[in-house]
A and B are shown apart, each in its own frame.
Chain A
């Protein structure tokens, strides 16, 4: 089941500590999962069992799909793997800039 999200919305994993924030998404229904289970708005009362991939997420990293049509910020790291409609999304390479302030 897909949902249309807006930037700034935070989604929590139901199987690990991962929390992500939507930075940029197309205005279409998306099926976002972590560790094989759909993510939800707000932390779950109790974590379920990890059934899917568990390569982990890292706080502060940005995740994007292969075509870079969407972007998420990991606001809390966890053990699960992020995926959109079953396709794993990866860390976006960062451009290193000098500190300007």
Chain B
């Protein structure tokens, strides 16, 4: 290859990694470029991104090999044919290390594949690598990972949000065409908002939890993280579906989110909950919310003021339910079956030392809170109380959805904050999820769509909450906002 043609190839490759998932899928089908060219382009940008610290495990050689085989066979039947995708390191991947961002699983190599990732692979995608996240998905800033904090493309000193921070940062920086995360209290939507990307938490039961490292089983749900609403519809379609191996997976037909996607939303009723206007919220976020209302009005939606009166109790209830479930789920890490093992004089001491060395501070705090609220004599006062509050929060939504088709709120009470700013104060960190947590407690679908910037040029997102199993409506509304907000990536590349 002469210099000029290799230069042309290089230009083409760098452009590929700036394309949307949908354009890449179509480009491969139309033979505008090969799967190998796509894969090389993302490997190339990923290799230059060490300073972002998004990858825990790179599968670049394997991905390249698969892409070459794909180009030989040319099977375009899947929704994601020939596309490399890096995923959050919470999804078990067969024969590829899966750490959950924890020391206690630093050497764990699953012998099985999670249902959600295997759904992606059956649609023709393949694994590019495993992305950093908060330890066991417990965190809102990606600072709790054993593998170090991830940085936000919008600033070297900024967190990408969490817990799917590695996924959000890799996506925003063009290191993967799309990615998947998990959302227990906002872990897809909050980092999406902090990085100017689209993050969707599906209805509880829409995507199988089988093979995902468990945090809080009644709240955990996997979902797509993408650069556009169109991509979100496509990836949701590829990953969701009933799975008999997850007893809470719901047997409903997978809708064709992509072909049903439309910005024609005339006549839909949108609720604006007054309880989401919180103290000390920057005026920019309030302004963005008003803009969102205008965008939807412009598209023909009808705006209605609503009340979700128990909103203020969602976060404290969450901090009973989630740690309680986590303390049970994480009991399996005992140094016997897998992962890190410490020495001890006897079995009990081995357990205690293993868990002390293996878990980080935030995970320990949550296990201890969970153990406390479930301990003898306290169950009714805490866990039962929280389940009652959860019912009240769900009732609020049920009532609201009698009058409206979807609810519009800000995604987060602030833009991305500085690394270290909140890591000493657990409660101030928890307050990040104030707008996202009620959705998890109620099992509803919600999406964060980038809608503007604050005065420091940091992205801000708007959240749309839908009725159970009505992902289509919130995707359509997001599309209407996306078209009108005309959000464009706006950072200078500092990490290469």
Question: Are chains A and B native binding partners rather than an unrelated pairing?
Answer: no
Residues of B at the A interface (CB closer than 8 Å) are none
